[in-house]
Amino acid sequence: MARVPLIAGNWKMNMTVAEGVTLVKELMPRVDGLGKVEVAVCPPATALHAVGRALADSQIALGAQDVFWAASGAFTGMLSPPMLIDVGCTYAIVGHSERRGRFGKPDESLSPEAAQVFGDTDASVNLKAKAALGYGLSPIVCVGETLPEREDGRTDEVVAGQVRSCLAGLSAEQVAGLALAYEPVWAIGTGRACEAPEANRVCGIIRSVVRDAYGAAAADSVRVQYGGSVSEKNAHDLISQPEIDGGLVGGASLDATKFSQIAQVASVIAKDMRYA
The yes or no reply on residue 249 touching ligand 13P (CB under 6 A) is: yes
Q: For 231, what's the count of Cα atoms within 13 Å in the CB-facing half-sphere?
A: 12
Near ligand 13P in 171-210, by CB under 6 A: 183, 188-189
Minimum CB separation from ligand 13P for residue 140, in Å? 9
Sole window of 70-78, 204-212, 245-253, 258-266 interacting with ligand 13P (rule: CB under 6 A): 245-253
Residue closest to 61 by CA, chosen among 69, 51, 46, 73: 51
Check 38, 96, 149, 232 and give the catalytic one. 96
The yes or no reply on residue 99 touching ligand 13P (CB under 6 A) is: no
The yes or no reply on residue 95 touching ligand 13P (CB under 6 A) is: no
The yes or no reply on residue 15 touching ligand 13P (CB under 6 A) is: no
Tell me how many residues contact ligand 13P (CB under 6 A).
14
**Contact criterion met (CB below 8 Å) for 140 and 225:** yes
Q: Has 113 been annotated as catalytic? A: no
Determine which helix (DSSP H) or strand (DSSP E) holds 62, and give its type and residue range: strand 61-64
11: DSSP letter: -
Tell which one of 228, 259, 260, 267 touches ligand 13P (CB under 6 A).
228
Q: Has 183 been annotated as catalytic? A: yes
Which residues, in sequence order, are CB contacts of 222 under 8 Å at separation 6+? 175, 176, 177, 178, 179, 180, 207, 210
Which residues, in sequence order, are CB contacts of 270 under 8 Å at separation 6+? 4, 5, 35, 36, 37
Q: Active-site positions?
A: 96, 183
Under the rule (CB under 6 A), what is the footprint of ligand 13P?
A: 10, 96, 183, 188-189, 227-230, 248-252
